[in-house]
Structure 1
Amino acid sequence: MGKSLVPAAQASATPESSPKAPRFPPVGMYGVMQINLSAMVQHLHDEDVLARASCVEMKKYLVYIRQFGELPFHSSPWCRYSVSFIGTTLRSEDPAIGITSDMVVPIFPCSL
């Protein structure tokens, strides 16, 4: 944590740091991910799967970037990551299994 990306304007003029080169966030950062299930399953040509996927609202999710799934190369527009989804609300209490609503750690600078 505490890592940041250097804006392209501040980077040297090497091919890896040119404005056209893709920039991948480093491990340990937070990000926003948008999932389009309909587009993800369209190639299956399965009407039932497409109908179910279209029922899921496309929205943005807050994630923590845990690790790279592959090495990021400046020549590639893609990079796979392992991420953890982050809840944006307090968790519901479930005393039967020992879960209380105070078992949430807010992300700075937000507080609950």
Structure 2
Amino acid sequence: MQLHRNSQKRVYEENAVYFIVTKTHQNFPYFKEETFCDLLIEDLKICKELKKFKLYAFCVIYDHLNLLIHPSKEFNISGIMGTFKRNLSRNINKIMGCEDIIRSYHNEGEDTYPHTRCNLF
């Protein structure tokens, strides 16, 4: 079995339905805003079409999301969630007035963690 980068074991069972919980950055309550809830639902619909998974149920709470999904053979959970979270966070950042991702560099020119600049207030 291949280990994830932080060495947590991930087990994928064929024809299994998975319960997934994903949290917002620093538990920020983004989904108190109806606009962000609507955006989440639209992005989830798009991701479902693109990644061909079955969505049995979902529950949006202020600072996290619960999903019950059955991935297709074509895409695993990591691929599905990566696409969904990347697109949703980009769209939320646009609405909040955040600038594009800005990368900082070490002296050697290596990329470090990408940062965003956001003027929220």
TM-score (norm 2): 0.24
Larger Rg: 1
Structure (1/2) with the larger helix percentage:
2
